[in-house]
Amino acid sequence: MNVDIQSLGTFNQLAHEGAQQATQSMAQMTGIDASVDVTKITLVDREDVGEALVGQDFVGVQFDFEGVLEGDTVLAFDTDSADTMVDALIPGGSDDEAMARSGVEEVGNIMMSGFIDGWADYLEAAIEHSPPTYIEKSGREVLPETRHPDDHEQVFVFKSEIEWVGESVNFYIYMLPEYEAFAEVMTEHADTEGDAIPIDKLHTFNEMTTSGTQKAADNVEMMTGIPTEAEVSQISFAPITDVPKQIGTDTYVGTVVEFTGVPSGYLLVLFDEVSAINVAEAMMPIEMDGDELTDQHESAIEELGNIMTSGFVDGWANVLQTSVDHSPPRLVHDMGRSIMDPLAAQVGQHQEHAFIIDSRMKTDDIEFEAEIHALPNEQELRRALEDLDVERADETDADVEQIFE
Amino acid sequence: MKVYDGTQSTDDDQGTEPERIKVGIAEYKTTTDDAVLTTSGLGSCIGVGIYDDVSGAAGLVHVMLPTAEDIDDGNRAKFADTGVEALVEALEDAGASRASMRAKMAGGSDMLDFSESGSSIGARNAKQVRATLEEFDIPLVGEDVGGDHGRSLKLDAGTGDLVVKSANTESTTL
């Protein structure tokens, strides 16, 4: 099954417009000014969906849909924004539990009907949805339960993040179509002669990323003695102007390289400041005074970034059976978005959309988390995927260990 | 809380902070109130603020690439040439006059420029903004461009002050 870049772009746009329409319905009902910040389509392991939600409590509505597309969708407000919204709808409403609940249900229902109708219109086919179910849960539990609990499956997820103007709260729309039906719809809309990407190979690509990340994590462990695990690997697709938003506005420390070969692109290894200090000190022979990030910390990060990059890139090159070279690392210490911005601009000179590969590693021993992001050239990624033959992809699936030794 | 039509404030806002209007990447916004327009995460991107003291209109655009000639996807605010043009037109629609417009810009950093030949995207962005402003005869009265760090901006529509903030330095006002 192939899916072309144009249709990925179209589906992403569709989800974005649906989220915008839903947000406007809410704005009209409540007078709250909100706007859709990011919409992206991601291929990710089902278990890893909803990482952004961890650690918060949510209320919202959930429903399933069927027809040309099947699946589940959820609209989740964190509890503070739900209160604000209900109070805007019915002054003082958030104090009355029943009223708060029906307010969320009402707004949720209207928002989500708009969202689904947009899809049905575009596909020129019927999509029916169930009545909304009110939910009140924390973290990832707010997402619908997987329909295939025993499978270790990768799924497409549409996620829109909606920002409330002037408030620090956000809410989310997740849409999780059933893989088969969605893949079929995408295939039907694909121009297989043109710039199509075989979607099954995107799975392999995710596995490659996981393995590359594990290799990078092993290198961290080797240098610091801290056991480090690869966590989430995903590949997302978004308009180039949304790429910098994939990283937060916090300050990060890390390294960036340009890699060349097929595909070429940019690779970022980023640590939040606390993680950077912790991991750098684990590499240093002496105790540091104070808790500031110093030049010594930065040079330790540079060294670590370099060795993590090598591990990651070697992992890719092994599976793709090509050589992937990279430039010496450049140390960065800046706001996350500003770091991604020039890279997106460079890629954006030739393409309107971009694939973004994200992975994460973590350790339980100290407060430490690292993110790896890759921004490959789209056409070259497509070529690399074309060259990745399916048999070899199967091998990778069966025995990743062997390939990444 | 804001009233959705954006033209008036509710009681809560009286005497408190001015309205904040966020401008995303490849977007422009204008205001005729004394609002504060903000944009963040400028690397090689450039934020261009244009204001007109006479009419009280002000606007901010966050452009990503120099010119729409290379890849035109219909979003004018993505490019320095068409972005400035779109902002000027929107300000004129809001009652501003080109003759009394003043511009300030910040961003266009050379950070993470891997190109081995030619000038960086940041430098090309800045050059294009200057050229387009010149075409429109709008004086550029303040700028903070280049360097190797990111920036975030706040344009005070009431005064025309453009506050530039970086992750590792004190903020400056243009």
pLDDT score for B95: 92
pLDDT score for B42: 94
From CA A346, how far away is CA A342, in angstroms rounded?
Answer: 6
pLDDT score for B140: 95
Q: Among A263, A363, A350, which residue's Cα sits nearest to residue A313?
A: A263
What pLDDT digit, counting tens, does each position of A160-182 carry? Answer: 877 776 665 567 888 888 888 88
Residue A215 has pLDDT above 80, yes or no: yes
pLDDT score for B139: 95
Residues of A in Cβ contact (< 8 Å) with B78 = 241
Q: Among A338, A157, A212, A326, which residue's Cα sits nearest to residue A258?
A: A326
Residue B145 confidence class, pLDDT cut points 50, 70, 90: very high
Count how many residues are written for chain B: 174
pLDDT score for A269: 92
- Comparing CB atoms, the residue among A32, A35, A251 nearest residue B167 is A251
Residue A30 has pLDDT above 70, yes or no: yes
Q: Among A75, A76, A104, which residue's Cα sits nearest to residue A88?
A: A104
What pLDDT digit, counting tens, does each position of A290-311 carry? Answer: 677 888 888 889 988 998 898 8
3-state secondary structure chain A: CEEEHHHHHHHHHHHHHHHHHHHHHHHHHHCCCEEEEEEEEEEEEHHHCCHHHCCCEEEEEEEEEEECCCEEEEEEEEHHHHHHHHHHHCCCHHHCHHHHHHHHHHHHHHHHHHHHHHHHHHHCCCEEECCCEEEEEEHHHHCCCCCCCCCCCEEEEEEEEEEECCCCCEEEEEEEECHHHHHHHHHHCCCCCCCEEEHHHHHHHHHHHHHHHHHHHHHHHHHHCCCCEEEEEEEEEEEHHHHHHHCCCCEEEEEEEEEECCCCEEEEEEEEHHHHHHHHHHHCCCCCCCCCCCHHHHHHHHHHHHHHHHHHHHHHHHHHCCCCEECCCEEEEEEHHHHHHHHHHHHHCCCCEEEEEEEEEEECCCCEEEEEEEEECHHHHHHHHHHCCHHHHHHHHHCHHHHHC
| Residue A54: Cβ-neighbour burial (10 angstroms; 0-12, 13-18, 19+) | exposed
Report the mean per-residue pLDDT for chain A: 80
A2-188 matches A196-404 in fold: yes
Residue A289 confidence class, pLDDT cut points 50, 70, 90: low
Domain ranges within chain A, ordered by starting residue: 2-188, 196-404
Q: Which CATH architecture has domain B24-173?
A: 2-Layer Sandwich (3.30)
Residue A150 has pLDDT above 70, yes or no: no
- Please indicate whether, in this complex, the C-beta atoms of B121 and A346 are within 8 angstroms of each other: yes
Number of neighbouring beta carbons within 10 Å of residue B118: 9
Residue A187 has pLDDT above 60, yes or no: yes
Q: Among A358, A375, A371, which residue's Cα sits nearest to residue A264?
A: A375
Chain A residues bordering chain B (beta-carbon distance below 8 Å)? 27-28, 31-33, 35, 37, 84, 88, 163, 165-166, 240-242, 244-245, 249, 251, 256, 258, 266, 327, 330, 332-346, 348-352
- The residues in B 78-137 lying below 8 A from A, measured between CB atoms, are 78, 109, 111-115, 120-122
Residue A211 to residues A109, A204, A227, A324, A402: CA-CA distances in angstroms? 41, 10, 16, 16, 11
- Phi-psi region at A270: left, alpha or beta (left = phi > 0; alpha = psi -120 to 50): beta
Locate the chain A residue with the closest alpha carbon to B42. Answer: A338
From CA A16, how far away is CA A10, in angstroms rounded?
Answer: 10
- Comparing CB atoms, the residue among A31, A348, A350 nearest residue B3 is A31
Percent of chain B with pLDDT over 70: 87
pLDDT score for B80: 94
- Comparing CB atoms, the residue among A242, A327, A337 nearest residue B40 is A337
From CA B156, how far away is CA B158, in angstroms rounded?
Answer: 5
Q: Which CATH architecture has domain A196-404?
A: 3-Layer(aba) Sandwich (3.40)
Residue range A2-188, CATH number: 3.40.1550.10
Residue A365 has pLDDT above 80, yes or no: no
- Comparing CB atoms, the residue among A28, A37, A345 nearest residue B44 is A345
Residue A35 confidence class, pLDDT cut points 50, 70, 90: confident
- Please indicate whether, in this complex, the C-beta atoms of B114 and A327 are within 8 angstroms of each other: yes
pLDDT score for B2: 34
Sign of CA dihedral B4, B8, B11, B17: positive
Can you tell me which residue has the tokens 């021993």? A365
Which one-letter amino acid corresponds to residue A174?
Y
What letters, b where the CB count within 10 A reaches 16 and e where it falls short, cover B140-150?
A: eebbbbeeebb
Number of neighbouring beta carbons within 10 Å of residue A27: 18
- Please indicate whether, in this complex, the C-beta atoms of A32 and B2 are within 8 angstroms of each other: yes
- Please indicate whether, in this complex, the C-beta atoms of A338 and B1 are within 8 angstroms of each other: no
From CA A214, how far away is CA A202, in angstroms rounded?
Answer: 18
Domain ranges within chain B, ordered by starting residue: 24-173
Strand B151-156 relative to strand B162-165, pairing? antiparallel
> Facing residues of A197 across strands?
A3
Two tokens, residue A43: 């291929």
pLDDT score for A207: 77
Q: Is residue B80 classed as helix, strand or coil in its secondary structure? A: helix
Count how many residues are written for chain A: 405
Q: Span B22-50, mean pLDDT?
A: 93
pLDDT score for B167: 80
Residue A201 has pLDDT above 90, yes or no: no
Q: Span A24-34, mean pLDDT?
A: 78
Report the mean per-residue pLDDT for chain B: 86
- Comparing CB atoms, the residue among A241, A334, A346 nearest residue B167 is A334
DSSP state of B50: E
pLDDT score for A7: 74
Q: Which residue has the higher pLDDT, B118 or A325?
A: A325
- Cβ atoms of A247 and A351 closer than 8 Å: no
Residue B84 has pLDDT above 80, yes or no: yes
Sign of CA dihedral B66, B69, B73, B74: positive
User: Longest C-alpha distance within chain A, in Å?
Assistant: 66
- Where is average pLDDT lowest: A81-90, B38-47, B164-173? A81-90
From CA A227, how far away is CA A241, in angstroms rounded?
Answer: 36
Residue B115 has pLDDT above 80, yes or no: no
What pLDDT digit, counting tens, does each position of A86-145 carry? Answer: 887 788 877 888 888 888 888 888 877 777 877 787 778 888 888 888 888 888 888 888
pLDDT score for A82: 82
Strand B140-145 relative to strand B101-107, pairing? parallel
- Please indicate whether, in this complex, the C-beta atoms of B167 and A37 are within 8 angstroms of each other: no
Q: Is B40 on the interface with A (CB under 8 A)?
A: yes
- Cβ atoms of B100 and B54 closer than 8 Å: yes
pLDDT score for A396: 42
pLDDT score for A47: 79
Strand A34-45 relative to strand A265-272, pairing? unpaired
Q: Span B57-61, mean pLDDT?
A: 96
pLDDT score for B142: 94
